[in-house]
């Protein structure tokens, strides 16, 4: 863990070479240690800084789940699924998946 903190603090190009990888590593380490609030904080910052990094979004979803935010976690995973899946059946229902990602509790009248 100190490696990731040092890499993010001093901005050096040590392994992992990218800030996104360091944020994922640090956030994931916090999560596995049960430090869920810190994991969510680091991974949320990573997603904000690197919105196209789907791995960060997936690890954030895991941390959110562990922190008791299951709805937000599932919404994040649904968004990643809709954004990245090549499966024809997922593609077929992409619009519905995105709508539920926005509001999993939505009931259609």
* Mean pLDDT per 10-residue section of the chain, whose length is 109 residues: 62 63 95 98 96 96 98 97 97 96 87
Distance CA 29, CA 52 (A): 21
CATH number for the region 2-102 comes to 1.25.40.10
pTM for the full predicted model: 0.84
* CB 98 within 8 Å of CB 82: yes
- Give the pLDDT score at 108: 76
- Give the pLDDT score at 15: 47
Q: Could you state, in order of their start, the residue ranges of all structural domains in the chain?
A: 2-102
């Amino acid at each position: 863990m100190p490696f990731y903190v040092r890499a993010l603090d001093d901005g050096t190009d040590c392994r992992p070479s990218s800030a996104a990888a360091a944020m994922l590593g640090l956030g994931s380490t916090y999560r596995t240690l049960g430090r869920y609030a810190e994991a969510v904080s680091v991974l949320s910052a990573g997603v904000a800084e690197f919105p196209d990094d789907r791995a960060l979004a997936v690890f954030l979803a895991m941390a959110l789940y562990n922190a008791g935010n299951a709805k937000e976690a599932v919404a994040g995973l649904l968004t990643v699924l809709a954004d990245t899946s090549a499966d024809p059946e997922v593609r077929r229902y992409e619009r519905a998946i995105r709508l539920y990602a926005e509001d999993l509790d939505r009931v259609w009248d």
